[in-house]
Amino acid sequence: MKITKPTLLIDEEKCRNNIRLMAKKAKNNNVIFRPHFKTHQSHIVSNWFRDEGVSKITVSSVSMAKYFIEDGWYDITIAFPFNVLEINDIINISTEVALNLVLESIEVFNFLCSELTRPVNYYIKIDIGYHRTGLQLSQIDEIINLIQLGDKEDKLNFKGLLAHFGDSYNCKSENEITEVYQNSLKELLILKDKLSAYCEDIMISIGDTPTCSIINDFIGVDEIRPGNFVFYDSMQYQLGSCSFDSIAVAVACPIVAKHKERDEIVIYGGSLHLSKDYYIDSNSIKSYGIIAPYSMKWDKYFENSYVKSISQEHGIISIDKKYMDKIDIGGIVLVIPAHSCLTSNLLNDSLII
Protein backbone atom coordinates (compact mmCIF):
# COMPACT_ATOMS: atom_id res chain seq x y z
CA MET A 1 0.00 0.00 0.00
CA LYS A 2 1.48 3.32 -1.09
CA ILE A 3 0.86 5.98 1.52
CA THR A 4 -0.55 9.16 -0.02
CA LYS A 5 -2.63 10.52 2.85
CA PRO A 6 -2.73 10.29 6.66
CA THR A 7 -2.59 6.60 7.50
CA LEU A 8 -2.64 4.83 10.83
CA LEU A 9 0.16 2.30 11.15
CA ILE A 10 -0.43 -0.45 13.70
CA ASP A 11 2.58 -2.52 14.75
CA GLU A 12 1.13 -5.98 15.36
CA GLU A 13 4.18 -7.28 17.21
CA LYS A 14 4.18 -4.36 19.65
CA CYS A 15 0.42 -4.72 20.21
CA ARG A 16 0.73 -8.43 20.85
CA ASN A 17 3.57 -7.77 23.24
CA ASN A 18 1.58 -5.12 25.11
CA ILE A 19 -1.36 -7.52 25.39
CA ARG A 20 0.87 -10.39 26.51
CA LEU A 21 2.51 -8.31 29.25
CA MET A 22 -0.79 -7.06 30.65
CA ALA A 23 -2.38 -10.53 30.46
CA LYS A 24 0.62 -11.97 32.29
CA LYS A 25 0.48 -9.28 34.96
CA ALA A 26 -3.22 -10.02 35.51
CA LYS A 27 -2.53 -13.74 35.70
CA ASN A 28 0.35 -13.28 38.15
CA ASN A 29 -1.98 -11.25 40.35
CA ASN A 30 -4.85 -13.67 39.93
CA VAL A 31 -7.16 -10.89 38.71
CA ILE A 32 -9.57 -11.10 35.80
CA PHE A 33 -8.27 -9.34 32.72
CA ARG A 34 -11.21 -7.66 30.99
CA PRO A 35 -9.55 -5.26 28.52
CA HIS A 36 -11.42 -2.23 27.25
CA PHE A 37 -11.95 -2.49 23.51
CA LYS A 38 -12.84 1.17 22.94
CA THR A 39 -9.22 1.89 22.02
CA HIS A 40 -9.08 -0.23 18.87
CA GLN A 41 -12.74 -0.99 18.01
CA SER A 42 -11.36 -3.61 15.66
CA HIS A 43 -12.19 -7.27 15.01
CA ILE A 44 -8.62 -7.85 13.83
CA VAL A 45 -7.00 -6.42 16.96
CA SER A 46 -9.53 -8.21 19.16
CA ASN A 47 -8.26 -11.52 17.78
CA TRP A 48 -4.80 -10.74 19.15
CA PHE A 49 -6.43 -10.62 22.60
CA ARG A 50 -8.10 -13.98 21.94
CA ASP A 51 -4.71 -15.43 21.19
CA GLU A 52 -3.63 -14.45 24.72
CA GLY A 53 -6.61 -16.24 26.25
CA VAL A 54 -8.83 -13.21 26.78
CA SER A 55 -12.54 -14.03 26.80
CA LYS A 56 -14.07 -11.18 28.83
CA ILE A 57 -14.13 -7.66 27.45
CA THR A 58 -15.18 -4.12 28.27
CA VAL A 59 -16.80 -1.68 25.85
CA SER A 60 -18.12 1.85 26.28
CA SER A 61 -21.32 1.74 24.26
CA VAL A 62 -24.12 -0.56 23.20
CA SER A 63 -23.05 -0.08 19.57
CA MET A 64 -19.57 -1.32 20.42
CA ALA A 65 -21.02 -4.29 22.30
CA LYS A 66 -23.03 -5.23 19.20
CA TYR A 67 -19.95 -4.91 17.00
CA PHE A 68 -17.97 -7.35 19.15
CA ILE A 69 -20.90 -9.75 19.65
CA GLU A 70 -20.97 -10.12 15.85
CA ASP A 71 -17.42 -11.38 16.18
CA GLY A 72 -18.27 -13.98 18.81
CA TRP A 73 -17.43 -12.20 22.08
CA TYR A 74 -19.87 -13.37 24.74
CA ASP A 75 -18.91 -11.85 28.11
CA ILE A 76 -19.16 -8.09 27.95
CA THR A 77 -19.20 -5.19 30.39
CA ILE A 78 -20.62 -1.93 29.05
CA ALA A 79 -18.63 0.46 31.26
CA PHE A 80 -20.88 3.47 30.84
CA PRO A 81 -23.88 4.56 32.92
CA PHE A 82 -26.72 2.56 31.40
CA ASN A 83 -28.60 4.56 28.77
CA VAL A 84 -32.27 3.66 29.21
CA LEU A 85 -33.06 4.77 25.66
CA GLU A 86 -31.18 1.72 24.40
CA ILE A 87 -33.22 -0.79 26.37
CA ASN A 88 -34.42 -2.66 23.29
CA ASP A 89 -30.88 -3.37 22.22
CA ILE A 90 -30.02 -4.51 25.72
CA ILE A 91 -32.98 -6.89 25.79
CA ASN A 92 -31.81 -8.37 22.49
CA ILE A 93 -28.19 -8.62 23.54
CA SER A 94 -29.06 -10.20 26.88
CA THR A 95 -30.44 -13.24 25.09
CA GLU A 96 -27.10 -13.83 23.39
CA VAL A 97 -24.32 -12.96 25.84
CA ALA A 98 -23.39 -12.60 29.48
CA LEU A 99 -23.90 -8.91 30.01
CA ASN A 100 -22.65 -6.62 32.76
CA LEU A 101 -24.16 -3.15 33.05
CA VAL A 102 -23.06 -0.20 35.15
CA LEU A 103 -25.60 1.59 37.33
CA GLU A 104 -25.53 4.52 39.69
CA SER A 105 -29.18 5.28 40.40
CA ILE A 106 -32.28 3.60 41.77
CA GLU A 107 -34.41 4.92 38.97
CA VAL A 108 -32.33 3.19 36.31
CA PHE A 109 -32.34 0.03 38.42
CA ASN A 110 -36.13 0.12 38.61
CA PHE A 111 -36.45 0.83 34.91
CA LEU A 112 -34.33 -2.22 34.11
CA CYS A 113 -36.37 -4.41 36.48
CA SER A 114 -39.55 -3.53 34.69
CA GLU A 115 -38.13 -3.93 31.17
CA LEU A 116 -35.62 -6.77 31.15
CA THR A 117 -36.70 -10.18 29.96
CA ARG A 118 -33.55 -12.05 30.94
CA PRO A 119 -31.07 -11.58 33.79
CA VAL A 120 -28.09 -9.27 33.50
CA ASN A 121 -25.33 -8.48 35.98
CA TYR A 122 -24.68 -5.01 37.30
CA TYR A 123 -21.84 -3.14 38.88
CA ILE A 124 -22.34 -0.01 40.93
CA LYS A 125 -20.20 2.80 39.62
CA ILE A 126 -18.22 4.44 42.39
CA ASP A 127 -16.77 7.94 42.09
CA ILE A 128 -13.41 7.95 43.87
CA GLY A 129 -12.84 11.65 43.26
CA TYR A 130 -12.60 11.96 39.48
CA HIS A 131 -16.15 13.36 39.45
CA ARG A 132 -17.14 12.10 36.06
CA THR A 133 -19.78 9.53 36.95
CA GLY A 134 -20.72 7.32 39.88
CA LEU A 135 -21.98 7.43 43.41
CA GLN A 136 -19.67 9.09 45.86
CA LEU A 137 -18.22 7.31 48.87
CA SER A 138 -20.44 9.48 51.08
CA GLN A 139 -23.57 8.21 49.32
CA ILE A 140 -23.34 4.89 51.13
CA ASP A 141 -27.08 4.69 51.76
CA GLU A 142 -27.81 4.75 48.04
CA ILE A 143 -25.09 2.17 47.45
CA ILE A 144 -26.53 -0.15 50.10
CA ASN A 145 -29.98 0.38 48.66
CA LEU A 146 -28.78 -0.57 45.17
CA ILE A 147 -27.20 -3.75 46.56
CA GLN A 148 -30.26 -4.74 48.59
CA LEU A 149 -32.64 -4.16 45.71
CA GLY A 150 -30.56 -6.63 43.72
CA ASP A 151 -31.12 -9.30 46.37
CA LYS A 152 -34.84 -9.17 45.68
CA GLU A 153 -34.61 -9.16 41.91
CA ASP A 154 -33.92 -12.18 39.75
CA LYS A 155 -33.26 -10.11 36.67
CA LEU A 156 -30.45 -8.03 38.15
CA ASN A 157 -27.49 -9.71 39.79
CA PHE A 158 -25.13 -7.50 41.76
CA LYS A 159 -21.50 -8.19 40.90
CA GLY A 160 -19.48 -5.49 42.57
CA LEU A 161 -18.04 -2.01 42.58
CA LEU A 162 -16.62 -0.53 39.42
CA ALA A 163 -14.31 2.49 39.43
CA HIS A 164 -12.11 4.45 37.07
CA PHE A 165 -9.10 6.13 38.67
CA GLY A 166 -9.17 8.91 36.06
CA ASP A 167 -7.03 11.22 38.16
CA SER A 168 -4.06 9.14 37.03
CA TYR A 169 -4.27 11.11 33.78
CA ASN A 170 -3.42 14.31 35.62
CA CYS A 171 -0.22 12.91 37.12
CA LYS A 172 3.26 14.04 36.30
CA SER A 173 5.28 11.04 37.44
CA GLU A 174 5.10 7.34 38.18
CA ASN A 175 5.14 8.17 41.88
CA GLU A 176 2.08 10.35 41.51
CA ILE A 177 0.28 7.60 39.59
CA THR A 178 1.18 5.09 42.31
CA GLU A 179 -0.17 7.48 44.91
CA VAL A 180 -3.47 7.94 43.01
CA TYR A 181 -3.77 4.18 42.73
CA GLN A 182 -3.05 3.47 46.38
CA ASN A 183 -5.31 6.21 47.73
CA SER A 184 -8.16 5.33 45.37
CA LEU A 185 -7.99 1.61 46.05
CA LYS A 186 -7.79 2.21 49.78
CA GLU A 187 -11.06 4.18 49.65
CA LEU A 188 -12.69 1.49 47.56
CA LEU A 189 -11.62 -1.26 49.97
CA ILE A 190 -12.88 0.70 52.99
CA LEU A 191 -16.20 1.00 51.18
CA LYS A 192 -16.22 -2.71 50.37
CA ASP A 193 -15.58 -3.46 54.02
CA LYS A 194 -18.51 -1.28 55.10
CA LEU A 195 -20.73 -3.06 52.58
CA SER A 196 -19.69 -6.55 53.65
CA ALA A 197 -22.62 -6.70 56.08
CA TYR A 198 -24.95 -6.44 53.08
CA CYS A 199 -23.13 -8.60 50.59
CA GLU A 200 -20.33 -11.10 51.08
CA ASP A 201 -19.14 -11.31 47.55
CA ILE A 202 -18.30 -7.89 46.12
CA MET A 203 -15.97 -7.69 43.14
CA ILE A 204 -13.61 -4.75 42.78
CA SER A 205 -13.21 -3.80 39.11
CA ILE A 206 -10.80 -1.02 38.21
CA GLY A 207 -9.03 0.00 35.10
CA ASP A 208 -7.10 2.80 33.53
CA THR A 209 -3.95 2.41 31.52
CA PRO A 210 -1.60 4.55 33.66
CA THR A 211 -2.20 2.66 36.90
CA CYS A 212 -2.51 -0.78 35.29
CA SER A 213 0.78 -0.17 33.48
CA ILE A 214 2.74 1.04 36.48
CA ILE A 215 1.34 -0.97 39.36
CA ASN A 216 2.58 -4.53 39.70
CA ASP A 217 0.70 -5.64 42.77
CA PHE A 218 -3.11 -5.70 42.57
CA ILE A 219 -3.91 -6.95 46.07
CA GLY A 220 -7.58 -6.30 46.81
CA VAL A 221 -8.54 -6.01 43.16
CA ASP A 222 -10.60 -8.65 41.34
CA GLU A 223 -10.61 -7.33 37.79
CA ILE A 224 -8.66 -4.84 35.65
CA ARG A 225 -10.07 -3.11 32.57
CA PRO A 226 -7.31 -1.09 30.88
CA GLY A 227 -7.79 -0.25 27.19
CA ASN A 228 -5.29 2.21 25.82
CA PHE A 229 -2.24 0.03 26.67
CA VAL A 230 -2.74 -2.07 23.53
CA PHE A 231 -1.56 0.91 21.47
CA TYR A 232 -0.29 3.44 24.04
CA ASP A 233 0.41 6.94 22.66
CA SER A 234 2.48 10.03 23.32
CA MET A 235 0.23 11.10 26.25
CA GLN A 236 0.91 7.76 27.97
CA TYR A 237 4.61 8.06 27.18
CA GLN A 238 4.60 11.52 28.74
CA LEU A 239 2.80 10.14 31.81
CA GLY A 240 5.41 7.41 32.18
CA SER A 241 3.00 4.54 31.51
CA CYS A 242 5.12 3.10 28.72
CA SER A 243 8.46 3.20 26.98
CA PHE A 244 8.66 4.81 23.55
CA ASP A 245 9.34 1.37 22.09
CA SER A 246 6.03 0.00 23.27
CA ILE A 247 3.91 2.60 21.45
CA ALA A 248 2.27 0.49 18.78
CA VAL A 249 0.64 3.15 16.58
CA ALA A 250 1.85 6.03 14.46
CA VAL A 251 0.19 8.15 11.81
CA ALA A 252 2.12 8.49 8.56
CA CYS A 253 1.51 12.03 7.31
CA PRO A 254 2.58 13.61 4.00
CA ILE A 255 4.76 16.71 4.32
CA VAL A 256 3.21 19.51 2.27
CA ALA A 257 5.17 22.64 3.25
CA LYS A 258 8.31 23.78 5.03
CA HIS A 259 8.72 27.09 6.82
CA LYS A 260 12.38 27.24 7.73
CA GLU A 261 12.12 30.81 9.00
CA ARG A 262 10.03 29.61 11.93
CA ASP A 263 11.28 25.97 12.22
CA GLU A 264 7.92 24.58 11.18
CA ILE A 265 6.64 22.08 8.70
CA VAL A 266 3.06 21.55 7.57
CA ILE A 267 1.65 18.05 7.25
CA TYR A 268 -1.50 16.65 5.75
CA GLY A 269 -2.85 15.34 9.06
CA GLY A 270 -5.29 17.40 11.12
CA SER A 271 -8.14 17.06 13.55
CA LEU A 272 -9.97 14.78 11.08
CA HIS A 273 -7.12 12.30 11.49
CA LEU A 274 -5.34 12.85 14.81
CA SER A 275 -8.26 14.33 16.80
CA LYS A 276 -8.03 17.54 18.78
CA ASP A 277 -6.76 15.85 21.92
CA TYR A 278 -3.46 17.06 23.35
CA TYR A 279 -1.35 16.94 26.47
CA ILE A 280 0.96 19.39 28.17
CA ASP A 281 4.49 18.07 27.94
CA SER A 282 7.33 18.34 30.46
CA ASN A 283 8.32 21.72 28.99
CA SER A 284 4.77 23.00 29.59
CA ILE A 285 4.10 22.89 25.86
CA LYS A 286 0.74 21.87 24.39
CA SER A 287 1.43 18.91 22.12
CA TYR A 288 -0.85 17.02 19.75
CA GLY A 289 1.84 14.41 19.18
CA ILE A 290 5.50 13.47 19.01
CA ILE A 291 7.26 13.41 15.62
CA ALA A 292 9.35 10.52 14.35
CA PRO A 293 11.18 9.88 11.10
CA TYR A 294 9.23 7.77 8.63
CA SER A 295 9.92 4.11 9.21
CA MET A 296 7.88 0.98 9.79
CA LYS A 297 9.78 0.57 13.06
CA TRP A 298 9.57 3.85 14.96
CA ASP A 299 12.28 3.36 17.54
CA LYS A 300 13.42 6.97 17.80
CA TYR A 301 11.80 10.37 17.60
CA PHE A 302 12.79 13.91 16.67
CA GLU A 303 13.84 15.69 19.86
CA ASN A 304 12.19 19.01 20.69
CA SER A 305 9.68 18.47 17.89
CA TYR A 306 5.90 18.16 18.24
CA VAL A 307 2.56 18.92 16.59
CA LYS A 308 1.96 22.43 17.90
CA SER A 309 -1.39 23.19 16.32
CA ILE A 310 -4.00 21.51 14.30
CA SER A 311 -6.78 22.47 11.88
CA GLN A 312 -9.27 20.26 10.12
CA GLU A 313 -6.69 18.87 7.66
CA HIS A 314 -3.43 20.66 8.59
CA GLY A 315 -0.97 19.78 11.30
CA ILE A 316 1.67 22.38 12.13
CA ILE A 317 4.84 20.80 13.45
CA SER A 318 7.43 22.70 15.39
CA ILE A 319 10.64 20.93 14.52
CA ASP A 320 14.12 21.21 15.92
CA LYS A 321 16.28 23.14 13.46
CA LYS A 322 18.77 20.28 13.20
CA TYR A 323 16.22 18.03 11.50
CA MET A 324 14.99 20.52 8.92
CA ASP A 325 17.35 19.26 6.24
CA LYS A 326 15.97 15.75 6.66
CA ILE A 327 12.49 17.00 5.84
CA ASP A 328 11.37 17.04 2.23
CA ILE A 329 8.12 18.22 0.73
CA GLY A 330 6.58 15.07 -0.69
CA GLY A 331 8.13 13.00 2.08
CA ILE A 332 6.40 11.55 5.12
CA VAL A 333 6.81 11.97 8.86
CA LEU A 334 5.25 9.93 11.60
CA VAL A 335 3.07 11.46 14.28
CA ILE A 336 2.81 9.46 17.48
CA PRO A 337 -0.64 10.73 18.37
CA ALA A 338 -1.53 12.28 21.71
CA HIS A 339 -4.52 10.00 22.20
CA SER A 340 -4.55 6.77 20.21
CA CYS A 341 -8.18 5.87 21.07
CA LEU A 342 -9.49 8.94 19.25
CA THR A 343 -7.00 8.68 16.38
CA SER A 344 -7.86 5.05 15.68
CA ASN A 345 -11.56 5.93 15.76
CA LEU A 346 -10.93 8.51 13.01
CA LEU A 347 -8.60 6.50 10.79
CA ASN A 348 -10.41 3.39 9.69
CA ASP A 349 -8.13 2.35 6.85
CA SER A 350 -5.21 1.40 9.00
CA LEU A 351 -2.15 -0.46 7.86
CA ILE A 352 -1.12 -3.37 10.04
CA ILE A 353 2.59 -3.95 9.88
Site for a second copy in 310-329 (CB under 8 A): 311-314, 316, 329
Burial per residue of 6-30, b for 16 or more beta-carbon CB atoms within 10 angstroms, e otherwise: bbbbbbeebbbebbeebbebbeebe
Q: Which residues contact 287 (CB under 8 A, 6 or more apart)?
A: 234, 238, 278, 279, 280, 281, 306, 307, 308, 338
Site membership for a second copy, residue 67 (CB under 8 A): no
Whichever of 89 and 174 has its CB closer to a second copy, that residue is 89
**Under DSSP, is residue 229 helix (H, G, I), strand (E, B) or coil?**
helix
In the complex, the smallest distance separating the C-beta of residue 350 from a second copy, rounded to whole angstroms, is 16
* Of the residues 16, 29, 43, 86, which one makes contact with a second copy according to CB under 8 A: 86
256 belongs to the binding site for a second copy (CB under 8 A): yes
* Per CB under 8 A, 149 contacts a second copy: no
Helix (H) or strand (E) holding 125: strand 120-127
CB 232 within 8 A of CB 11: no
Rule CB under 8 A: choose which of 131, 172, 297, 321 binds a second copy: 131
Buried b (16+ CB within 10 A) or exposed e, 62-77: bebbebbbeeebeebb
Q: Does 112 bind a second copy (CB under 8 A)?
A: no
The SS3 of residue 348 is coil
Is residue 330 close enough to count as binding a second copy by CB under 8 A?
A: yes
Residue 344: CB minimum distance to a second copy, A: 11
**43 exposure class (CB count in 10 Å sphere: 0-12, 13-18, 19+):** middle
Q: How far is the CB of 217 from a second copy (least distance, A)?
A: 28
Which is nearer to a second copy, 191 or 341 (by Cβ)? Answer: 341
Residues that bind a second copy (CB under 8 A): 2-5, 38, 60-63, 80-86, 88-89, 104-105, 107-108, 111, 131-133, 136, 254, 256-259, 261-262, 264, 266, 268, 271-272, 275-277, 309, 311-314, 316, 329-330, 332, 341-342, 345
